[in-house]
Structure 1
Amino acid sequence: MTTGIRDYESDAIVQLMNIAEEDWTEQELKDALQRAIMLELSTVPPYATALWSITDPDNSKPVRHTIREIVFDEMSHFGLVCNMLTSIGGTVVLTDPASVPKYPGELPGGVNPGLEVFLSGLTRDSAALFADIEKPEHPLGFAADGNTIGAFYQRIADVFPKFAHLLTGQRQVSFPLGSSHGAGNNIVPMNTIDDVLNAIHIIQSQGEGTDASPENPFPGVPGELAHYYAFKEIAVGRKFVLDEQTGKFDFIGPDVPLPDTSPVGRVPRDGWANSPGNEPDATTADLLRTFNQQYSDMLRALEDAWSPSAADIFPAIGLMGDLRRTAQKINAVKLPADPRFTYGPEWLFVQQ
């Protein structure tokens, strides 16, 4: 068994990738899926924090639409992997204090070592961070080593057929995200190995594109780019298009302007109380506590949805809307030590 599998800050994925495929056991596969769940969950707070900093609420505006669709993609990826784990008899763990995301900090399991993931409003720098999270090993090519999310998923895809007999189709959550957010985004049961491999293909290609195109092959709208290229466009400020002269894609298209945002500062480790001069007053502290409680309740509701009791997933979905509304209130409060910036949500887990 991989050590520290539920420890967010361990190198558990590196350990798993160092185990030869033929030596993986049922436990290694379950450990890998729990890690994949933690990876998917880890992307939502930084992406959502940036999205909610955009002040124009029109979801059809280009940059807001792009990030919002990616957040929904990540939520569907999360649900698909939870279904993989429970279908082979595993237990989804989201509320162990050791397993919840930590910011700023590296991605869980040792993926993309040295990359510090932070929480802030949308900027060119935060978009560049998001592109680094989603990076393929080679642009327009498949991630081939153990340092990327795509490579980790490929290892799971390579190993899973050996354990196809474990699939039971039990404790599965279904949710129709596809009708609103594109083909492939439905959270569907994992009854067969084909279900599993198709889901992994969707997760990989929505994040990285394919070896022939930067486009998401399961888009909400035609021409939608895979996550890496979509975020890179925002970071660079130019559209990623085919150069007719060279026959290669490059960031030489029209400008991609940043939308107006609340200037959310980078959230310090363990929250704003640890930022000298920016300790929140009572009103702001109450807003921050409310957000953290809503986030924690959402994790509990998600965990319950994949538990043996098979609770309804709708409470978790409702809490996501509550998080957005509370975050926008937090984003309106200026930092006392530097009023050029505002507070942002802390995404801290609160135990019951």
Structure 2
Amino acid sequence: MTSLLEYRSNRIVELMEEPAERRDADWLKESLQQAMMLELTTLPPYLSAMWSIEPQSGDVLKAFKRIVFDEMSHLGLAGNMLTTIGGVPRLGDAHTVPKYPGPLPGGVRPSLNVCLSGLSKESLALFAQIEEPDDPIAEARSHTSIGAFYTAILEAFQDHAELITGAHQLERNMQHHGAGNSLVALNSLADVEAAIEVIKEQGEGTAASPENPHPGVTDELAHFYVFRELFRGRKLVRVAEDPDRWEFTGDVIAMPGTRPMGTVPDGGWGAPGQPTPDAETQALLDQGNQAYSRMLDLLEDAWQANDPDTATGLLDEAVFKMVGLKGPARALMIREIPGGDGRTYGPEFRYIAD
């Protein structure tokens, strides 16, 4: 099965080409594993950009924090969808972890080159392309969306609701991060439908509005539109009603102060042809990679635990490791790359097996 889980493959495209009558339990399990890989792929670039923002930067930093927490919730919900039908998530595996720079998994939006860097206009353009809906309210479409993949998954669930068992579900109350952000058990088709609605609408908005129907703050926009606002430097506002029309003509949004993190090269900072990091820098890189790797291992173990209390404890440990990534990441961002024209190091998010 390893070849089917290969990160750099066209597997999602192939799954989407399968006719509806062949979208059975195996199709759903494989699709949900790919969905988890997609969700995981967004976290390192969003976190790198967020951690590059100076701490007192106000609304832009807050917007990134909300998006990151949403994406963590989406990863958890995708995992619960997989385990409720008897699947086993694979995260701590060299075949399934994201590799940067590189494409999204499964052949989704193959023109994109997802990389790790500080916040910039270029990274914002990339993030918006990752989150782009099929039919954006304010801009033209460029490609089939991740949301279309989730729609196919939902339709397969609706055809095979009997597969839902409620087994091995992780739960965590995260309402303080916004409506719909809690990690909840998926014990029925209605639960699955609600989870997919949250994932799609927080990222893309709805067909009628760019607003996030599951917000953390009033008038919060879906991720795609937040990134486009920041890229354009203007708030997205409703300029007409019945029908609604939205344009980026609102208040000016200034880019925040950032630390000048460079783009992580293929193979990491110490790859052939790159300057060799000094010992202290390498220690910070290793610390971040180890925390990231153990977080993924702990999440896998949590979903496989038979005892709910054990699962909760492992999930808590994974969250602790996640929080621990920030320290070494920000410490790296004040260390200049030799010959890097003032650019600094940043986290690599490389998986290191035990």
TM over 0.5: yes
Instruction: Please name the residue that 1:222 is paired with.
Output: 218
Instruction: Please name the residue that 1:129 is paired with.
Output: 126
Q: Deviations over 1:46-72 (max 9, x none)?
A: 0000000112256xx210011110000
Q: CA deviation at 1:36?
A: 0.4
Instruction: Please name the residue that 2:37 is paired with.
Output: 38
Q: CA deviation at 1:244?
A: 3.9
Shift in alpha-carbon separation, 1:187–1:277, aligned structure 2, 3 A: closer
Match of 2:82 among 85, 90, 101: 85
Instruction: Please name the residue that 2:336 is paired with.
Output: 334
Q: Distance in 1 between matches of 2:10 and 2:237?
A: 37
Runs of at least 4 residues off by over 6 Å: 143-146
Residues 41-190 of structure 1 aligned to structure 2 (within 5 Å): 41-57=40-56, 61-140=58-137, 147-178=144-175, 180-190=176-186
Q: CA deviation at 1:182?
A: 1.1
Q: Distance in 2 between matches of 1:275 and 1:262?
A: 25
Shift in alpha-carbon separation, 1:275–1:340, aligned structure 2, 3 A: farther
Q: CA deviation at 1:243?
A: 2.2
Contact 1:103 1:268 in 2 (8 A): yes
Contact 1:278 1:336 in 2 (8 A): yes
Instruction: Please name the residue that 1:16 is paired with.
Output: 15
Q: How many residues are aligned here? A: 347
Shift in alpha-carbon separation, 1:55–1:49, aligned structure 2, 3 A: same
- Contiguous gaps of at least 5 residues in structure 2: none
Q: Distance in 2 between matches of 1:243 and 1:162?
A: 41
Q: Distance in 1 between matches of 2:156 and 2:12?
A: 14
Q: Distance in 2 between matches of 1:14 and 1:70?
A: 26
Q: Which letter maps to 2:318?
A: A
* SS of 2:253 mapped into structure 1: coil
Q: Distance in 2 between matches of 1:218 and 1:140?
A: 18
Is residue 208 from structure 1 mapped to residue 207 from structure 2 by the alignment? no
Q: Distance in 1 between matches of 2:257 and 2:142?
A: 38
Is residue 318 from structure 1 mapped to residue 320 from structure 2 by the alignment? yes
Contact 2:235 2:248 in 1 (8 A): yes
Q: Distance in 2 between matches of 1:132 and 1:94?
A: 24
Q: CA deviation at 1:146?
A: 8.0
Q: Which letter maps to 2:101?
A: P
Q: CA deviation at 1:25?
A: 1.7
* SS of 2:4 mapped into structure 1: coil
Q: Distance in 1 between matches of 2:228 and 2:132?
A: 10
Instruction: Please name the residue that 1:4 is paired with.
Output: 3
Instruction: Please name the residue that 2:302 is paired with.
Output: 305
Contact 2:24 2:156 in 1 (8 A): no
- Per the normalisation by structure 1, the TM-score is 0.94
Contact 1:215 1:223 in 2 (8 A): yes
Q: Which letter maps to 1:328?
A: R
